[in-house]
Amino acid sequence: MRTRASILHLDLDAFFAAVEQRDKPSLRGKPVIVGGVGPRGVVSTASYEARRFGVGSAMAMAEARRRCPHAAFLSGRFGAYRDASRIVMALLGELSPRVEPLSLDEAFVDLEAGEPRPLDDGSLLRLAEELRTRLTEATGGLTASVGLGSSKFIAKVASELAKPDGVRLVLPGSEVDTIAPLSARAVPGVGPATMERLARLGVETIADLQRLTRADLVRELGRSAGEHLHDLVFARDDRAVEPERETKSISVEDTFERDIVDPETLAGIAARQAAHVVQRLTGNGLFARTVTLKVRRPDFTSVTRSRTLDGATGRLDVVARMARDLLAGLDVTGGVRLLGVGVSGLVEVAQEPLFDLVDPAAPAGRVVEESSVPARRAPGWHPGADVIHDAFGSGWVWGTGLGRVTVRFETADTPPGPVRTFSIDDPALRPADGSTADGAPPEG
């Protein structure tokens, strides 16, 4: 184990919502919720103002609207999030060649692999504060929480303790005492199902886990999971920061606190998971040939179904459609404890399939509307999308309905702007990204 807290974990604060607040002055300091705005949508990110009302990620959007009806509900703009992420990852790359991105808004950095520098406690804290200052300046106001620890697990715990917008260094030698009061759910791999089994042993906190023997955990969880958990609760974690891992598959899974039996709810979650998978896929410049769906039932039996294309795709509509088709082929009447969507057979060049898997009769934006990535509703405009009007300039979609679209005209560099309403087919109004109003890219 390391004797210095030389692993850094950075987590951008409420990332998607923070980007929206940065670019939309009228939303600063107000609750913002980003995710699928359709009837089966799921929250991707909630601003801290919205979290005070109990809104959190992976919550059904309908529940979020009930808890915080006055929030701004936005579909999201993946291009803006990706651009901000690239700036942050470039800053981390200046610290060390060993940067392991976990997602657009989260990464580990091995500071020992960078240029020789003092790695004493004071120097590490100064480095973290300087990084946060530079990050805020470079991104136009975004903030991050930074943790420093002797391992990846401890660094991530430290960043959670630093939230929001702070720095936390866990001194070498203090790791076991630092994590002891935390919930056992803070340990990677301890989800609702594992927590339910541990609760039978009287476990609520990591301190409770520390009082159990390795044999206790192996007996309850199996050898591999039990031994790994026993190591982590005593801060034994020698996993390396791995920037050059070959990506063989990408997947997203959710374990539910209560079994879900409603097929429509599961379909919405699968669409959201497909969106996250495609975000990571396209962010790595990759395309996938195989889509996989994983279901775990209440009795812990698991079923996996896959479908392989005759080409390779990075299209959200294709991945989401395949995931939903695979789900539709499974019996979920007994409930689902865990649902996951993944892709594999990854290549660097798109290979369009010979046959289009998307139902041409389906609305062009239906799947995307229920996900957390940017997409245009069809017909019309999705809330939060950047637009340009020939007379009024740049703005964003406030809302749409009854053949009209309402736009607030402001940008990150202006004061809160005026609101105007137009006919939905007003020729002077167009998407800022060059797509058509129904979400299709312009021809040519």
Q: What are the tens digits of pLDDT across the range 22-40?
A: 999 999 999 999 987 776 6
Is there a contact between 145 and 129 (Cβ–Cβ < 8 Å)? no
Q: Which of 149-163, 338-352, 410-424 has the lowest mean pLDDT?
A: 338-352
Which domains does the chain possess? 1-171 (3.30.70.270), 180-233 (1.10.150.20), 249-344 (3.30.1490.100), 376-431 (2.30.30)
* pLDDT > 90 in the chain, percent: 60
CA distance 101 to 10: 10
Helix (H) / strand (E) containing 215: helix 214-221
Q: How many CB atoms lie within 10 A of CB 334?
A: 11
Is there a contact between 341 and 251 (Cβ–Cβ < 8 Å)? yes
CA distance 356 to 384: 30
Q: 321-332: string of b/e by CB count within 10 Å (b at 16+)?
A: bbbbbbbeeeeb
3-state helix, strand, coil in the chain (%, to 5): 35, 25, 40
Q: Is 92 helix (H, G, I), strand (E, B) or coil?
A: helix
What's the order of all strands across the beta sheet hosting 336-344? 249-260, 336-344, 288-296, 302-313
Its pTM stands at: 0.72
- Convert the pLDDT of each residue in 289-346 to its tens digit: 899 999 998 877 889 999 988 778 888 888 999 999 999 989 888 899 899 999 998 8
Residue 311 β-bridge partners: none
What is the predicted pLDDT for the residue at 354?
34
- Convert the pLDDT of each residue in 421-444 to its tens digit: 999 999 999 998 754 444 333 333
Half-sphere exposure of 288 (CA within 13 A, CB side): 31
**Phi–psi pair at 345, nearest 5 degrees:** 65, 50
51, 55, 59, 60 alpha-carbon torsion, rounded to 10°: -150
CA distance 337 to 18: 31
Map tokens 């300039």 to a residue.
393
Catalytic positions are 106
CA distance 146 to 166: 6
Measured at the alpha carbon of residue 68, what is the angle toward residues 66 and 72, in degrees to the nearest 5?
115
**Phi–psi pair at 241, nearest 5 degrees:** -75, 120
Measured at the alpha carbon of residue 417, what is the angle toward residues 411 and 422, in degrees to the nearest 5?
100
Distances (CA, A) of 197 to 184, 205, 227, 234: 12, 14, 16, 20
What is the predicted pLDDT for the residue at 159?
97
- Convert the pLDDT of each residue in 104-156 to its tens digit: 899 999 999 988 888 999 999 999 999 999 999 999 999 999 999 999 999 99
Q: Assign 259 a pLDDT band (cuts: 50, 70, 90).
A: confident
DSSP 27: G
